[in-house]
């Protein structure tokens, strides 16, 4: 990765993703994680404060960026949480099939290069009855906003570490084989170009 991606981008991501609206979205799903947890794209560790240490056995914290990991390891969290960092890409999950109870993805499916393959990997390692908790931004329902997202996306992706503005998260989950048990969506406070959010719970088909 470039110097920008390792030393500058982590601080910009931390600033953008620690906003009050985004934090409220995290609070809606992260506390429901339980058992052995795999968090995809931990980033700077902004989800750590919301985990319930009484329900979580272990958190596998996947983050390919070493720059992000540096900040994540300093992030506030319950001292009882057992967190182990891994640096492999989400398209190459190093876990046995059906070994994970809960997968957590927040504001990361927009960035994964081969998101379809990554979701197939997540489905594979999730236990029967396991759940994927998600909160993501993505393609807006309003045509004028969606049009602008598509126009801006190529430039935005280069500036924002691969982040895409126009992915339809529920469709991606369903196409990978997940069933949506809870599917919420709305604009959260912020510029509409960036603030259409999807969140909820998906399980194995």
Q: What is the pLDDT of residue 161?
A: 85
What number is the average pLDDT over the span 124-146? 97
Tell me the whole-structure pTM to 2 decimals. Answer: 0.94
CA dist., res. 56 & res. 133, Å (int): 14
Q: What is the pLDDT of residues 7-60, one digit of tens each?
A: 677 777 777 778 899 999 999 999 999 999 999 999 999 999 999 999 999 999
Strand order in the sheet with 196-204: 83-86, 56-62, 35-40, 100-106, 126-137, 196-204, 178-187
CATH class entry, domain 3-204: alpha beta
What number is the average pLDDT over the span 139-155? 97
Sorted by where each begins, the domain ranges of the chain are 3-204
Q: What is the pLDDT of residues 49-108, one digit of tens each?
A: 999 999 999 999 999 998 899 999 999 999 999 999 999 999 999 999 999 999 999 999
Q: What is the pLDDT of residue 205?
A: 76
């Amino acid at each position: 990765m470039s110097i920008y991606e390792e030393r500058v981008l982590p601080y910009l991501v931390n600033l953008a993703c620690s906003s009050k609206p985004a934090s409220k979205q995290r609070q809606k799903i992260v506390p429901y994680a339980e058992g052995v947890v795999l968090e995809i794209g931990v980033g700077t560790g902004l989800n750590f404060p919301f985990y319930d240490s009484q329900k979580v056995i272990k958190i596998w914290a996947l983050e390919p960026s070493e720059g992000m990991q540096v900040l994540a390891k300093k992030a506030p969290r319950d001292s009882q949480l057992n967190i182990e960092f891994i640096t492999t890409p989400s398209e190459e999950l190093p876990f046995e099939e059906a070994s994970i109870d809960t997968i957590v993805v927040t504001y990361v499916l927009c960035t994964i290069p081969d998101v379809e393959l990554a979701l197939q990997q997540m489905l594979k390692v999730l236990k029967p009855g396991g759940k994927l908790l998600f909160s993501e931004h993505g393609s807006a329902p309003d045509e004028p906003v969606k049009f602008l997202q598509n126009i801006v996306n190529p430039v935005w992706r280069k500036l924002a570490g691969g982040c895409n503005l126009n992915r339809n998260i529920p469709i991606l989950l369903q196409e990978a084989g997940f069933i949506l048990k809870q599917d919420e969506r709305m604009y959260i406070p912020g510029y509409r170009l960036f603030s259409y959010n999807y969140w909820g719970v998906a399980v194995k088909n």
